[in-house]
Amino acid sequence: MLRLPQFSVETPSTLEAALGLLADHAGRALPVAGGTDLLPNLKHRLAEPEVLISLADVGELRGISVGADGALSIGAMTPLDQVANHPEVLARAPALAQAAGIVASPQIRRMGTLGGNVMLDTRCRYINQTHFWRKALGFCLKKDGTVCHVVAGGQKCVAAASNDTAPALMTLGGELVLRSKAGGERRMKVDDLWKTDGIFNKKTRLDELVVSVHVPAQRPGHRGAYGKLRERESFDFPQLGIAVRIDLDGREVADADVALVALQARPLHLKDVADTLRGTTVGETSFRDAVDKVAERAHQQCHPLPNIPGDADYRREMVPVYVRRTLLSAVGLGQRPVS
């Protein structure tokens, strides 16, 4: 078996204690939630923290609640499995439920958390490998090296954001509640979280924790869906992930949004989606035509890189197909993610 590096583990039982530990060990510690992303990465020597601060015992970080305004608040430590099956999430944010429910495999969804998924490290076929393998190839920019194997001569890491829930949260206008000992609490839109840097693609501070994820109340006619291209029906990271929001007024589209993941270092919003779909009527050709137009635009706007497994040209070809299917699923009977 691959061995983990040596580190010590702290198991605080309050958020305050966890933040204190994180501040004390600044730069030498990492928080660990379910560990389903972090531990494999440690085995691959992608990080070498001296201390892991386990959030497992921090009860304040768990649970799903609905505010008076109809907004959802989901504790960062809530397992994906609960997010996927919670009746309020299913009703209020179907795209999020679908995305959470299609992450990895059933076992991993019980361990893996929503906070961990938002904070998931970027992925690349040349980095999520053992130390031996990476050394044999030659180390790269993201860890231990100076070159990029995806973009010859590239000066920037383009490892792909691969978290299924990220685009869903973006279409839903999701916000993170962040807290650190030094900086206190702040809110950040999931849209604003990202940097185009595959080495660390988030704008959070190192001593900061995600406390909860906030999903504002959606319109009455809210529809949502998630689509995922992957090799197998379980286990696999997205080779392309597409979240859709369509707000209907009767059968007429009032607003819409599409966001994609597993393209480059940050998830992206597709441009002009609302303008194209708005005013069209579901069930009529105007809607079908607009959907085709959005799919066509998506094809123009999205250029998957050969960063993650899966043929990059094929992934690009699948962009319009999955965008169209996911849009149609959102307004149809789509109970399950498109895959």
Partner 1 sequence: MAARDLHGPNPPWAKGFSVVGQPQRKVDGLSKATGEAVYTDDIALPGMLHAKTLRSPLPHARIKSIDVSKALALPGVHAVITGRDLPERYGVIPWTQDETALAVDKVRFVGDPVAAVAALDEDTAVRALELIAVEYEPLHAFLEPEDALRQVEPKIHEDKKNNVSKHVLLDFGDVDAAIAGADVTVEGEFGFHSTTHAPIEPHCAVARVSPDGVLTVWSATQITHYVHRALAKVLALPEQQIRVIQPCLGGAFGGKSDPFSLEFCVAKLALITGRPVKMLYTREEVFYTHRGRHAMKLRYRTGAKKDGRLTGVDAKILIDGGAYSSFGLVTTYYSGQLLTGPYDFPTYRFDSTRVFTNKPPCGPKRGHGSVQPRFAFEVQLDEVAEALGLDPIAIRRKNFQGTHTQTVNGQRITSNGFLECLAAVEAASGWKERRAKLPYGRGLGVAGSMYISGTNYPVYPNEMPQAGVQLKVDRSGLVTAFTGGNDIGQGSSSVVRSIVAEELGLLPEHVRVVAADTDLCPVDLGAYSSRVTFMVGNATIDACRKLRAKIVESVAAKWEVDPARIVMALGEVVDLDDVTHRLSVREAFHLAEARHDTLGSTGAYNTPELGGKYRGGTIGASPAYSFTAHVADVRVDVETGRIHVDKIWVAHDCGRALNPTLVAGQMDGSVYMGAAETVMENHAVSARGLHTGPSLLDYPIPTTLDTPEIESWIVESIDPEGPYGAKEAGEGPLHSAIPAIANAVYDAIGIRLRELPFTPAKVLRALGEQAERVESRRQRPVQAAE
Q: Which residues bind to ligand FAD, rule: CB under 6 A?
A: 30-38, 40, 55, 76, 80, 103-104, 108, 111-113, 115-117, 119-121, 162-164, 209-210, 235-238
124 binds, among ligand FAD, partner 1, ligand SF4, none (CB under 5 to 8 A by kind): ligand SF4
Choices 157-165, 228-236, 285-293, 318-326; region in contact with ligand SF4 by CB under 6 A? 157-165
Please tell me whether residue 140 binds ligand SF4 under the rule CB under 6 A. Answer: yes
The candidate with the shortest Cα–Cα distance to 92, out of 66, 118, 115, is: 66
CB neighbours of 212 closer than 8 A, spacing ≥ 6?
61, 73, 74, 75, 76, 176, 177
CB of 125 to ligand SF4, least distance (A): 7
- Exposed, middle or buried by CB within 10 Å (0-12, 13-18, 19+), for 132? exposed
Q: Pinpoint the alpha helices (H) of the chain.
A: 15-24, 38-43, 80-85, 87-92, 94-101, 106-111, 114-118, 131-137, 165-171, 273-277, 285-301, 312-331
CA 67 centroid distance within chain? 24
In the list ligand FAD, ligand SF4, partner 1, none, the entry touching 148 (Cβ below 5 to 8 angstroms by class) is ligand SF4
Q: Say whether residue 157 binds ligand SF4 (CB under 6 A).
A: yes
Q: Which is nearer to ligand FAD, 8 or 300 (CB)?
A: 8
Tokens 């609640």 correspond to what residue?
Answer: 65
Instruction: Please state, in angstroms and as integers, the Cα–Cα distance from residue 273 to each residue in 139, 164, 241, following that order.
Output: 40, 20, 16
CB of 102 to partner 1, least distance (A): 12
Q: Is 161 in the site for ligand SF4 (CB under 6 A)?
A: no
197 vs 207 by CB, closer to ligand SF4: 197
Q: Which does 163 bind (CB under 5 to 8 A by kind): ligand SF4, ligand FAD, partner 1, none?
A: ligand FAD
**Amino acid at position 49, single letter:** P
120 part of the interface to ligand SF4, by CB under 6 A: no
Six-digit token pair at 83? 């997010």
176 DSSP 8-state letter: E
C-beta separation of 159 from 197 below 8 A: no
CB 89 to ligand FAD: min, Å: 15
Angle at 337 between CA 335 and CA 339, to 5 degrees: 135
Of residues 73-112, which lie at the interface with ligand SF4 (CB under 6 A)? none
127 binds ligand SF4 (CB under 6 A): yes
Nearer to partner 1, 185 or 231 (CB): 231
Residues of the shown chain interacting with ligand SF4 in the complex, contacts defined by CB under 6 A? 124, 126-127, 140-142, 148-150, 157-159, 198, 307
